[in-house]
Structure 1
């Protein structure tokens, strides 16, 4: 992976340093190709901004310039979380430049991204999920799709974990599945009864599709590992075919799994372990979802919380008086 001067703005020295940094991430830090792409994309955006502002050397960037850049990202509509990621990329890059003697300080070190409201993940309720997963598949590919979606909802898998799952990782006698999560951390997850039944159906069809030596649990019509993009497309298609009232995507199933588990058990630590979150603060977002559900129940049920209506005389009365 390299940065071609002909394809991007920036001086030759800037682009050479950026290429060296990406190689450093690949060879020394052993980061995944996807992570390296994120760093490269963020820093190429900075290179373009520097070129527009007449800054042709990495050592010329000051803390004031970084603040101006943050303001520009904000005007361009980036969220606080996205800007924080950009700043993290810049800090990491300047650590490399300092090591290589290409900079004298880290101008992004004390710069913070603007705060933005934390968006709660959307979830589908239990009945909606049940309706979608109780649909009858009509061909081998739909049998595969149902098995994927049942497994994702049953075990709270990330999209990458589902796509990367091998046949050998599945134990239907357990029943459980072994997945490789973020940071190459492995965890073993239980598989529910409905998912086991769907997977058994799929495994009987998989034999006729799979190419020799293919390890993937889920394969395409060509017999090779199904890509993440294909899984996203098939889930969206499944939702359209079976009357979903919102667009279906893999994270919706994972979020729904987490919310439904927390709502039923109240055990935040257990849900953290199942999701593979390193920090429990990441899992705590689901407590807000659970509280919203409880708040709605409270508003609808508590006699002192019910909404009041105004009668023709202007007097306020409860919608449902106790004892009447």
Structure 2
């Protein structure tokens, strides 16, 4: 197995040379290492691994790690990309992961995409073709903003340059019922939008405050909602992620991941533009077991009152 670990090391170096983030490379390393250790424990020869071995490994991961479907897909994607690299470098003759697919289940409810999978999509290598590279810079800015701010499809479609405050990393949104709210966005989204603006000016020239931020390469007009949906889906597929990604799912992931990290339901409500807190509770699929535990520990009336003696 020493040879296999050498392959893994060289593959990770190739990922670093493609300017992928440390977090993404660490996730790749962790996922592929798990698989190689499984093969080592089972005394499986890397040159003779079969589809049944991969299926057994994934079953083992579900049983031992209680992985969700999206986490399983992420791990499979990492293994698939590693084995593809090994095959393309003529180190093995057959890549058994090429056509391997998880059994299809009913489409899961929104919000089940983990942060690592989202990062895999956002930090995938840029295409080598100049045209596709430019389209990727636009799409990456779009994806980063949707995930970073949680704005709706219609809101990002109508976004103009005057709505963006780059210095303070804020955007002004006019949402449902013509209600205006201010939403922050992250440094990654800011960098992605600034990179996209260089391409924007190549396509259309100098922009005006009222111009749409996201435009078509051919017409120079604002992207339509269907075009945005198609580009979001396309970039998820290009990253090798078997997730039916769409703008509303990114909005949901934004809310779920932010709520999980902060626990601040009111802040999430404000950023989503929900007038009713109950809407946010339903939308973010709150972990009610966790909330019940917090309530039991913190609320003075949570515990049964002892009877007077």
Local SS of the residue matching 1:179: strand
1:170 alignment counterpart: 164
Matched, 1:129 2:118: yes
CA distance in 2, matches of 1:173, 1:137: 27
Among 105, 118, 142, the residue aligned to 2:136:
142
Question: Is the alpha carbon distance of 1:206 and 1:286 closer, same or farther for their aligned partners in structure 2, counting shifts above 3 Å?
Answer: same
Cα contact 1:144–1:218 (8 A) shared by 2:
yes
Alignment check: 8 A CA contact 1:123 1:252 kept:
no
Distance in 2 between residues matched to 1:160 and 1:271, nearest whole Å: 19
Change (3 A) 1:155 1:227: same
Q: Which residue of 2 aligns with 1:217?
A: 213
The alignment status of 1:272 with 2:266, answered yes or no, reads: no
Task: Say if 2:269 and 2:277, in contact at 8 Å, map to a contact too.
Answer: yes
The Cα of 1:158 is off from its aligned counterpart by: 0.3
Q: Return the alpha-carbon distance in structure 1 between the equivalents of residues 109 and 230 of structure 2.
A: 23
Going from structure 1 to structure 2, the CA distance change for 1:253 and 1:287 (only over 3 Å counts) comes to: closer
1:210 deviation in Å?
Answer: 2.5
**Cα RMSD over matched residues?**
2.2
C-alpha separation in 2, matches of 1:294 and 1:140: 44
Residue 229 of structure 1: which of 226, 230, 236 is its match? 226
Which whole-Å deviations, capped at 9, do the CAs of 1:171-201 have from their partners, x for residues lacking one? 1111111111111111111110111110110
Instruction: Classify 1:164/1:287 alpha carbon distance in 2 versus 1 (closer, same or farther; 3 Å).
Output: closer
Larger RCO: Structure 1 or Structure 2 (Cα < 8 Å, ≥ 6 residues apart)?
2
Quote the offset at 1:163 in angstroms: 0.3
CA contact (8 A) 1:175 1:196 kept: yes
Whose Rg is larger?
Answer: 1
Unaligned runs of 5+ residues in structure 1 are: 1-118, 296-324
Q: State the Cα distance separating 1:286 from its structure 2 match.
A: 4.6
Structure 2: runs of 5+ lacking an equivalent: 1-107, 128-132, 293-309
Relative to structure 1, the CA distance from residue 233 to residue 192 in structure 2 (aligned partners, 3 Å threshold; closer, same or farther) is: same
Counterparts in 2 of 1:172 and 1:287: CA distance versus 1, 3 Å: closer
Shift of 1:294: 8.6
The alpha carbon displacement at 1:293 in A equals 8.1
Between the aligned partners of 1:209 and 1:163, the Cα distance in structure 2 is 18
Which residue of the other structure, out of 251, 254, 258, is the alignment partner of 1:257? 254
Give 1:292 shift.
6.9
My pick for the range that moved more, 185-194 or 210-219, is: 210-219
Describe how 1:54-203 pairs up with structure 2 within 5 A.
121-138=110-127, 139-203=133-197
Change (3 A) 1:283 1:175: same
State the Cα distance separating 1:245 from its structure 2 match.
Answer: 2.1
| Cα distance between partner residues in 1 of 2:237 and 2:285 | 29
- State the aligned residue count: 177
Tell me the SS of whatever aligns to 1:187: strand
Q: Is the 8 A contact 1:210 1:223 kept in 2?
A: yes
Residues 120 and 289 of structure 1 are in contact (CA less than 8 Å); yes or no, is this contact kept in structure 2?
no
For residues 224-279 of structure 1, give each alpha carbon's deviation from its aligned partner in whole angstroms, at most 9, with x where no partner exists.
11111100000111111111121111111000000001111111111000000011
Q: TM-score, length-normalised on structure 1?
A: 0.51
- Matched with 1:61 is none
Supply the distance in 2 between the matched residues of 1:151 and 1:264 (Cα, whole angstroms): 19
Question: Partner of 2:287: helix, strand, or coil?
Answer: helix
